[in-house]
Amino acid sequence: MKIGITCYPTYGGSGVLASELGKFLAKRGHEIHFITSTIPYRLQRDFQERIYFHTVDMEPYPLFEHPPYDLALAAKMRDVFVSEGLDLLHVHYAIPHAISAYLAAQLLKPQRVPIVTTLHGTDITLVGQEKSFFDITRFGINESTVVTAVSDYLKERTESVFSPSKPIHRVHNFVDLDLFRHPAFGCHRSNFATPDQIVYIHISNFRPVKRIPDVIRIFAKVREQIDAVLVLVGEGPMLREAKELAAQLGVQKHVRYLGKQLDIVSILGCADVLLFPSEVESFGLAPLEAMACEVPVIASRSGGIPEVVAHGVSGFLADVGDVDSMATHAVELGRSKELRVVMGKAGRKAAKELFHPDRIVPQYEALYQLALNS
């Protein structure tokens, strides 16, 4: 098949999933055309056969205070669909990508344009529920040929909030187990900690939903009992508050700020524990990648995370905001290498059995065929 993929080319889970899906589809013989504002960061390093990129052009025009990206995207989708002979469009996020795909399909009438829309979370739980976006979000879902959600939680949330006319197919995210593994290639642990220190890590876009202050508070409680460092990977609006709180709690010299990183594997793979106390996650891709690297996870019992992390098996879950419980579990893991190893291997096993690309990618292929035949 010739498949057009549109996503946000950022460090968030939707861009990661779309990029990885494109890579594995190409390996399975499909021709993949990314139609985005820039090359997704997970695809910036290596050339791969059967993957092509089409940049959405944004021409400045004095009339527009903000250039209409959704319209420019629709026009580009239409052009690429025709010039490359695409079979379907797979868009990630309902807003604006499903709407842009719908507009592209209208431009191509009477030619049929199958649209597969994957919902990732905030397009449903946050943006789509704003009054100004609610109706158009539901419209984008209903006008898609096939709709998927990355967890049972998100599927059920979409159905209860939007009452869509289309069935929602749950297709979990997956992880490249050949890439995310332990020991990591080129581990950088010596840059973060001494050999005897425990390395805790947090990776995110540092938005308020990630509850970054809880990460700092958990670590501060850990530091009272364990010689440890905290590695923070990513950037976002809560980073400054994180630094201020670390200073207030007296742990600033034990926190390593790495900013955005392309090479997540060699950083994550040499950590001991992932701290992930988010308010809500539609899936939890960072915990899954940590599990693949045999790193135990401490996370919130919310959203789709319990579908990924098994409490007491591959990590520990606690109620949102329960810093004390998370810190207790973090100390327990920090003190016991044996427990870290057992949970790490259990996490790797779950990643292999439940979230392997060979299990997930064929589900998308089957839904593509459904879209073509609908």
Q: Where are the domains of the chain?
A: 2-174+356-373, 189-354
Q: What is the mean pLDDT of the chain?
A: 91
Q: Provide the CATH number for the domain formed by 2-174+356-373 in this structure.
A: 3.40.50.2000
72-119 pLDDT tens trace? 999 999 999 999 999 999 999 888 999 999 999 999 999 999 999 999
- DSSP secondary structure, 131-159, as one string: HHHHHHHHHHHHHSSEEEESSHHHHHHHH
Per CATH, 2-174+356-373 and 189-354 having the same topology is answered yes
Supply the DSSP symbol for 311: B
264-318 pLDDT tens trace? 888 888 899 999 999 999 999 999 999 999 999 999 999 999 999 999 999 999 9
Query: What is the CATH superfamily name and number for domain 189-354?
Result: Glycogen Phosphorylase B; (3.40.50.2000)
Measured CA to CA, the distance from residue 311 to residue 299 in angstroms comes to 9
Inter-CA distances, 126 with 131, 135, 161, Å:
11, 14, 11
Q: What is the CA radius of gyration of the chain?
A: 21
Inter-CA distances, 321 with 48, 210, 221, 276, 296, Å:
42, 11, 14, 11, 19
3-60 pLDDT tens trace? 999 998 876 677 889 989 999 999 999 999 999 988 776 676 667 899 999 999 876 6
